[in-house]
């Protein structure tokens, strides 16, 4: 399958020097053309940091400490998103790679009709179209995401959270991007709404042919809708598999735990049931496998040697001593 976005050896730190913490560590990730790639992991595992890092949208004190993000353009040429000029990146960001970030629905302007906000996006990026054409396109985009045209002139507060999220997707799709990255907040939308949103995205993906990176802690959603899933723990991808493989036979004990977890409905820590303990403090990571203090299957080797993500003998990509990486 054709690769469209390839992350290689990405490292992201918050802060500099001895006070810094590494929130994303040596991440490799490939997005193929037309596919839905899900990214899952507990709160704080680095999902958003990865998404921000690979698109160079990290808020300070976040810094990309190394790696490459290779994007393949329509003509087959490639660029490294981490190294192209700011102006080139800005252009790519709307027209090729659209991003709907955690909390983005709060970025809708409360005192502007959604039609105006959509038209503004179109105006800013396609100077030649007429006002009439832009209005029609705004209507069409909202239709795509399932918002009836009588809502076109609503203000954000007149719409439910789910509808505002759809408006954000409509904006993201305005310039027909080839990649849509969507980072779902752990708490803001309920699972029913998330499911509808993801279903809408997946249907549109089939019609419009873009690729999706969908970030959520809710693995059941990903199993249902994505082609492949990458599981993050303490800043690292610990397993990557097709949804079917991951669902049937999760190889990493953490993946297995996540599959059998449900997010707590209350409480600020947003803990998951099913996996005892909590993620390590990035400032003092345990030696060996970062998951070993919580792992029910830990062996002696786990406390001393760090497994790396690689092709295990089963032909699956996992970082765990239960599934040694095949050599040669
Ligand atoms: P969630 O599911 O809650 O969105 P996440 O997987 O997206 O979680 P991140 O927000 O990427 O996790 O955070 C990864 C790690 O980086 C966490 O340990 C977090 O505390 C740390 N972190 C995030 N933002 C900052 C910051 N501005 N300064 C320092 N550390 C940060
Ligand atoms: Fe558990 Fe060891 Fe595998 Fe880590 S390497 S997940 S501690 S079995
Ligand atoms: Mg996040």
Tell me the C-alpha distance between 185 and 174, whole Å: 22
Question: What does the pLDDT average to over 127-144?
Answer: 89
Whether residue 218 is predicted with pLDDT greater than 80 in this model: the reply is yes
Of the candidates 93, 121, 91, the one whose C-alpha atom is nearest the C-alpha of residue 108 is 121
Predicted ipTM beyond 0.95 = yes
- The full 3-state SS of the chain, as one line of letters, equals CCEEEEEEEEEEEECCHHHCEEEEEEEEEEEECCCEEEEECCCCCCHHHHHHHHCCCCCCCEEEEEEEEEEECCCCCEEECCCCCHHHHHHHHHHCEEEECCCHHHHCCCCCCHHHHHHHHHHHHCCCCCHHHHHHHHHHHHHHCCCCHHHCCCCHHHCCHHHHHHHHHHHHHCCCCCEEEEECCCCCCCHHHHHHHHHHHHHHHHHHCCEEEEECCCHHHHHHHCCEEEEEECCEEEEEEEHHHHHHCCCCHHHHHHHCCCECCCCCCCCECCCCCCCCCHHHCCCCCCCHHHCCCCCHHHHCCCCCCEEECCCCEECCCCCCECCC
Q: Is 282 in the pocket of ligand 1 (CB under 6 A)?
A: yes
- Residue 259 main-chain phi, psi, to 5 deg: -60, -30
CA 262 to ligand 2 centroid distance, Å: 22
Q: Is any atom of ligand 2 closer than 6 Å to the C-beta of 307?
A: yes
Distance 62 CA to ligand 1 centre (A): 10
The best mutation among 41, 252, 253 to test binding of ligand 2, ranked by most ligand atoms within 8 Å of the C-beta, falls on 253
Residue 31: its pLDDT value, please? 98
Contact 55, 213 (CB under 8 A): no
Verify whether ligand 2 is closer than 6 Å to residue 297 (CB atom): yes
Which residue of 25, 27, 47, 237 sits with most ligand 1 atoms within 8 Å of its CB, as the best mutation to test the pocket? Answer: 47
* pLDDT tens per residue, range 158-191: 998 888 888 999 999 998 999 999 997 656 567 7
pLDDT of 71-112, one tens digit each?
A: 999 999 999 999 999 999 998 988 899 998 877 667 789 999
- Looking from the CA of residue 307, the nearest atom of ligand 2 is 5
Phi, psi (5° rounding) for residue 89?
-65, -45
Atom 3, ligand 2: residue with shortest CA distance: 320
Best residue for ligand 2 mutational test, from 231, 256, 295 (most atoms within 8 Å of Cβ)? 295
Instruction: Pick the closest to residue 144 from 180, 121, 174, 116 (CA basis).
Output: 174
241-287 pLDDT tens trace: 999 999 999 999 999 999 987 655 544 444 455 688 899 999 999 99
Adjacent-strand bridge partners of 212: 36, 180
Ligand at minimal distance from the CA of 285 is: 1
C-beta atoms surrounding 327 within 10 Å: 7
The residue written with tokens 């990493």 in the block is: 252
Residue 44 Cα to ligand 3 midpoint, Å, equals 7
- According to the model, what pLDDT value does residue 149 have? 87
């Amino acid at each position: 399958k054709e690769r469209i976005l390839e992350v290689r050896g990405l490292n992201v730190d918050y802060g500099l020097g001895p006070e810094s913490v590494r929130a994303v560590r040596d991440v490799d990730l490939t997005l193929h053309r037309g596919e839905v790639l899900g990214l899952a992991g507990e709160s704080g595992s680095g999902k958003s940091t990865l998404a921000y890092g690979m698109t160079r949208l990290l808020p300070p004190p976040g810094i990309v400490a190394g790696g490459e993000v290779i994007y393949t353009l329509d003509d087959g040429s490639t660029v490294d998103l981490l190294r192209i000029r700011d102006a080139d990146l800005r252009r790519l960001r709307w027209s090729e790679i659209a991003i709907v970030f955690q909390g983005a629905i709060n970025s809708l302007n409360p005192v502007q009709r959604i039609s105006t906000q959509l038209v503004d996006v179109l105006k800013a990026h396609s100077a030649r179209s007429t006002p009439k054409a832009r209005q029609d396109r705004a209507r069409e985009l909202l239709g795509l995401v399932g918002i009836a045209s009588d809502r076109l002139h609503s203000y954000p507060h007149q719409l439910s959270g789910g509808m505002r999220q759809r408006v954000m997707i409509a904006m993201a799709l305005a310039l027909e991007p080839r990649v849509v990255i969507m980072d779902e907040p752990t708490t803001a939308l309920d699972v029913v709404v998330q499911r509808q949103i993801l279903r809408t995205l997946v249907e549109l993906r089939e019609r419009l042919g873009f690729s999706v990176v969908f970030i959520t802690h809710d693995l059941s959603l990903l199993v249902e809708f994505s082609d492949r899933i990458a599981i993050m723990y303490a800043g690292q991808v610990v397993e990557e598999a097709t949804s079917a493989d991951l669902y049937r036979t999760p190889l990493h004990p953490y993946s297995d735990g996540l599959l059998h977890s449900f997010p707590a409905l209350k409480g600020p820590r947003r803990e998951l049931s099913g996996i005892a303990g909590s993620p390590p403090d990035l400032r003092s990571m345990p030696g060996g496998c970062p998951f070993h203090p919580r792992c029910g299957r830990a062996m002696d080797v786990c406390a001393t040697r760090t497994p790396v993500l690689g092709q295990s003998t089963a032909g699956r990509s996992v970082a765990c001593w239960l599934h040694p990486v095949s050599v040669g």
